[in-house]
Structure formats: structure tokens, C-alpha cells
Amino acid sequence: MVRLYTDDLSIGYGERTIIKELSVQIPDQKITTIIGSNGCGKSTLLKAITRVIPYQSGAVVLDGKIVAKENTKLLAKKMAILPQAPENASGLTVGELVSYGRFPYQTGFGRLSTKDYEVIDWALKVTGTSEFKYLPVDSLSGGQRQRVWIAMALAQETEIIFLDEPTTYLDMAHQLEVLELLQKLNREEKRTIVMVLHDLNQAARFADYIIALKSGNVVKAGTCEEVITKQVLRDVFQIDAEIGIDPRTKKPMCTTYNLLRGE
Amino acid sequence: MIPQELIKKQRIVMLVLIILVGITAVISAGIGFSTLSFERLLPTLFGYGTFKEEFVLFSIRLPRIIITFLAGMALALSGVILQGITRNDLADPGIIGINSGAGVAIALFFLFSPIDPGSFVYMLPIVAFSGALLTALLIYLLSYDRKVGLQPVRLVLVGIGFSMALSGLMILLISSAEREKVDFISKWLAGNIWGADWPFILALLPWLVILIPFTLYKANKLNLLGLSEPVAIGVGVAIEKERIILLLTAVALAASAVSVTGGIAFIGLMAPHIAKSLVGPRHQLFIPVALLIGGWLLLFADSVGRNVIEPNGIPAGVMVALIGAPYFMYLLMKK
């Protein structure tokens, strides 16, 4: 059974509809990536699923319950969000920022329990940020900072983690570092990961399940082999792509492409 | 998780501020139109003063010192909350129209209701409070969008619009009124601490006793709201609900203060800002500092204003504006 799915979900800002009657399923304990060209609604979809923005009709269902009607603190124990390029952390230390991830478990004046401290240390450790614990977040590099934000999401101890373009602004090595960390969390901790990615080949390399969107509609959803095909890429990105096999990961990859013209 | 050295720093800042408030209060008690020398302060306080000394201290100076301090704290806390929920350092109860709302209510009441001198003074805080609350509700309704919820930036803009419209209305009201009535209203507008008497202290105190701990209790949520909206939602802050509750808290604090002090702006702007630059942006730490700074600022402004020009002095609101307006400009320039 799938824990999380959308049912005829329509999302829009004002009069403009961005996503219309979209139904997708998020497979459990897998890495799902949402791909699509600019403005196709992939970030919007992620935000609506995670209740950051409201939707117009339809429903997002988690464990048989409609997300919009659920207690938001309760949901925060089930799913965590890493928004796109979070703003600066206004002078907080790394430890403090990560401790904010414990908010859903706090009551009263928000004193941290022993358990909270353990989880914070664990989150810092798996993301490799323990050494920065007492440093201001703003003093870190982009890649380090991104890992700290992931640590905060991890401190929420949720089974599902959503990430909106977690590799933006990072150089190639740091991009891989972040994605490998997410893969490790998925394999070792059985976390369900849902992310929006820009890079097609990264999506193919790390995802178990890919949802390809175009103008708010699902063009194709399935495994990498099903989605990374000449036909789907033509429909989604208007490109004429050459599909090969990554010699190291044995996953399909787009080796080269041209723009489609005059069709 | 808050770094120890910051907590230590906050303690020191608090201590310095408490001493500063103490010194200012003593000086304020000792100077003024009627003489009450400093060496007579303590004997008078403990009941060994002459009738005149006791009257000056207990009926004039002391209530005024306490009321300005309390009102300053309330305005500072209101500013803390408004800046927190709007994520805008320029938010202040005066700037977003709550003061003018109270002012218009007072003017309307003063001009159009039959005046009974006995109950009149005690009616004013209630009138001002209702005016402020009504204004806040209107601002809220107009800046609320059914689809996207409460937009903080829009709240500030609508508030500024309201503040201007209500000031215009005030001018209209005043220009059509009799002279002696205008006198009182213009004094109120200038922030002349007029409710300096024990009953007003009793009216103001409960708000602070309840709402200071309440706001501290919300400190973590304010921290998260200040970070970013999606992050706050992600960790489970019900932002819409929290914003409404906090907005009402801020209005209650500001309204209870201006209803006894008259229109005083800028305290809610300056106090949180200075506090943040002293001890950092964590609400748990800077709220207590902001409270003391706000209380001290108003106490200081009133003590100075009361004594610079004999016999009536400069209203506290004007004194505060003299300090606050340049500070506001400085903040704007820095942005």
C-alpha cells in the first residue's frame, strides 16, 4: 500500500492554474525525483504536498488522512521539508538550527530533552557536520550549509523527507556529496525521499522512481528506465536526446542532445 | 543549545539595564516642579516625610515613574511581536496605525459624548482600547487573503495606510471642535502621560503580568517564524493561527499602553532593535532586554521632557519621537 498520494490535485495562484487534477503516488522507502522544465510546476507540487502552499481542489493523502486537515505538528513528525535555498540563519549556530528540527516534539517553553540532544548529535554526525556544531551557520560554505539544513530536517525524525532542489548553488563535488548522503539515508535508514532535481542524469542516477511533469501534467511516472527515454525527454523538455548507459552505475543517461526545431 | 557566552552576555546586559533604570527612577523622583530633595527620598518612601513630600512622591512622581516604565515595556513587547510576525524591522504599533486608531476613538468620545467628570478618566482607556482593537481588526481583515492567508508585508502597508487616513480624520475632527477640547486631544496625541495615577497602573499591570510570560512561551515559534515561512511550516508551526494570536497580543499590549500614555510611537521600533543588536536574534534572550530598554526609554524621555521647559515640559511622546525619528531614518538608510 502507498502511504502518500495525491488525488486530482489542482494548484494555482489566483486565477492561474498551475497544476490541474494531478494524481501521483509516492512509493514508500524509495527515492522519488520530480523532473520537468522551468515553470512546469514541480516545485509547486512539492510545496502543495508539504502544505507550504494551499491547493484549490483534490487532496493530498498521507496514511489515509487528508494532509490539509491534519494537525500540522503531528505532520511534522511524519514529513520534513528542506525548502529551496533556505535564507540565512540570522546568526544561529549550527547546533541551534538543527535543534529547531526538534520543535514538533517539544512542549511548553521548549526545553530540549536528553533524547533531543541525542537526535541532534546523530543528525550532525550522519551529515558530517559535527565539527561545525558551535559555529555560526552563516560562516559555512554553501555545501556545508546545505548539509546543516538537511541535518535539521533529519532531526525531525520523519519517515519522509522532501527536498526542493537540494543541489542548487553547489559545485559538482558537493552536489554528489549531498545526493550520496540522501541515498545513504534511504538505503540505511529506510527514509522515503522525495526531491525536485534539475539535472536529468542526477535524477536518473539516484532515483528509484521518477515523475516527469510538463505544464502541470504527468507525462510519465515510473522507473528510470521507463522515464529516461527518447520519447519522454522529447515530450518533457522539447529536446532530441541520445540515451546511453552510465558505464559506472548502469543507469540510463542522456549523453548528448539537440533542441527540437520546426516541429 | 544557545551558546553559553551569549547567555552570560545577556545577564550582564540585563544587570546594567536594571541599574540604569534604578538610577533614572531615583533621579526622576528627585527632580521636578515641586522640590523633593534626594536626601528626603528614602525617608519619604518609608513614611517619614512631610505631608507635602509624601503627596509629591506617592501621588505624583512614583505613579508616573511606574506608569511610564510599564507602558514602555508594553510598547517594546508589542514591537517585538509585530517585528517577529511581519519579519520587518520597521514594524511598530505606532507606525502600523494602532495608535491613531486609539486616538480617533478618544477624539470621537471626547467630542461627542456627554462628559461626566467623575467616570470620564476611567472611561478613556477603555475607549482607546476599543479604538485600537477595531483598527487592528480592520487592518487584519484588509490584509487577509482567503487563498494565501495573512501577508505580513501587506499588513504593514495597510497599517501605514490606516495610520495616515486616521490622522487625516483626526485633523478633520479637531478642526471642527471647541478650543479647550482640542487642547486635551492634542496633548493626548503628543503622548503626554496623562494617566499617571495608581488606578491606571492597576489597569495596565495585568496585561503585562499575563502577556510577558505568554510571549516568552511563544519565543521558539517567533524564532521559527523569523527564519522562513516554509521552514516554520515544515517543523509544524501552525503559522496562520500563531500569527493571529500574536497579532492580538501585540494589539492588546500597545492599546493598553497608549490608552494611558497617549500616542507614543518609536518605542516599539527601537527597543527590540537595540536589544537584538546587543544580545542577538533569539527571542528568549532579547525579549527581556527589549522590555527593560523600552521601559527605560519611556521613563527617560518623560523624565527629561517633564523638566526641560517649565512649567509644563515637553510631552513624552514628542521626546521619544525626537530620539526615535533619527533612529528610524538610520534603520531605513541601513537597509
From first to last of its 335 residues, what are the pLDDT tens digits of chain B?
A: 788 888 999 999 999 999 999 999 988 888 776 667 777 777 777 777 787 777 777 777 888 899 999 999 999 999 999 999 888 887 888 877 888 888 888 888 877 777 665 566 677 778 888 888 888 888 888 887 766 667 777 888 888 898 889 888 888 888 877 777 777 777 777 777 767 778 888 888 989 999 999 999 999 999 998 888 889 999 999 988 898 899 889 988 988 888 888 888 889 999 999 999 899 889 999 999 999 999 999 999 998 888 887 667 788 888 888 888 888 888 777 76
B66 inside domain: yes
User: Residue B80 is part of which domain span?
Assistant: 4-286+308-334
> Kind and range of the H or E element at B86?
helix B62-86
CB B280 within 8 A of CB A91: yes
Would you call the peptide bond into A247 cis, given omega within 30 degrees of 0 as the criterion? no
Q: How far apart are the first and last CA of chain A?
A: 42
Residue B296's pLDDT is 96
Q: Which residues of A touch B2 (CB under 8 A)?
A: 96
Average pLDDT, chain A: 90
Determine the distance from the C-alpha atom of residue A74 to the mean position of all C-alpha atoms in its chain, rounded to a whole number.
20
- The per-residue pLDDT for B15 is 96
The reply to whether B110 falls in a domain is: yes
Q: Which of A150, A13, A182 is nearest to A83 (CA)?
A: A150
Facing residues of A32 across strands? Answer: A194, A209
Judge whether B53 lies within some domain.
Answer: yes
Classify residue B191: in a domain, yes or no.
Answer: yes
Position B100 scores a pLDDT of 84
The C-alpha of B275 sits at a distance from chain A's nearest C-alpha, in angstroms, of 14
Q: Is A97 exposed, middle or buried (0-12, 13-18, 19+ CB in 10 A)?
A: buried
pLDDT at residue A263 above 60?
Answer: no
Question: What pLDDT, on a 0 to 100 scale, did the predictor assign at position A117?
Answer: 94
Side chain identity, residue B113: S
DSSP state of A167: T
Nearest residue to B262 via CA among B311, B213, B301, B214: B301
Q: How far apart are CA B40 and CA B22, in angstroms?
A: 17
Cβ distance B1 to A73 less than 8 Å, yes or no, reads no
Which residue, among A62, A60, A181, has the nearest Cα to A128 in the 3D structure? Answer: A181
Secondary structure (DSSP) of B131-170? HHHHHHHHHHHHHEETTTEE-HHHHHHHHHHHHHHHHHHH
What average pLDDT does range A122-148 have in this prediction?
90
The tally of domains found in chain B comes to: 1
CB contact under 8 A, A91 and B280: yes
> Within a domain: residue B295?
no
Q: What is the pLDDT of residues A2-53, one digit of tens each?
A: 899 999 999 987 778 889 899 999 999 999 999 998 888 899 999 999 998 8
Residues of A in contact with B1 (CB under 8 A): 93, 95-96, 99, 112, 120
Compute the radius of gyration of chain A from its Cα atoms: 19
Bridge-based pairing state of the strands A57-62 and A4-13? antiparallel
What count of Cα atoms within 13 Å lies in the side-chain half-sphere of residue A193? 30
Q: Distances from the Cα of B217 to the Cαs of A76, B96, B213, B223, B246, in angstroms?
A: 20, 25, 6, 11, 11
Least confident segment among A203-207, A242-246, B118-122, B155-159: B118-122
CATH number of domain containing B71: 1.10.3470.10
Residue B296: inside a domain: no
Backbone angles phi, psi at A256, to 5 degrees: -155, 165
Q: CA nearest A164 in B: which residue?
A: B230
Instruction: Choose among B148, B149, B224: nearest Cβ to A100.
Output: B224
Give the alpha-carbon dihedral of B75, B76, B78, B83, to 10 degrees.
Answer: 140
Interface A–B counts its CB contacts (< 8 A) at: 88
**Residue B61 falls inside a structural domain:** yes
> What's residue B335's pLDDT?
60
| Nearest neighbour of A109 by CB, restricted to B3, B147, B217 | B217
Query: What does the pLDDT read at residue B117?
Result: 55
Domains in chain A, start-ordered, CATH in brackets? Answer: 4-259 (3.40.50.300)
Tell me what ipTM this predicted complex has: 0.88
Confidence of residue A187 (pLDDT cuts 50, 70, 90): very high
Whether B293 is in a domain gets the answer no
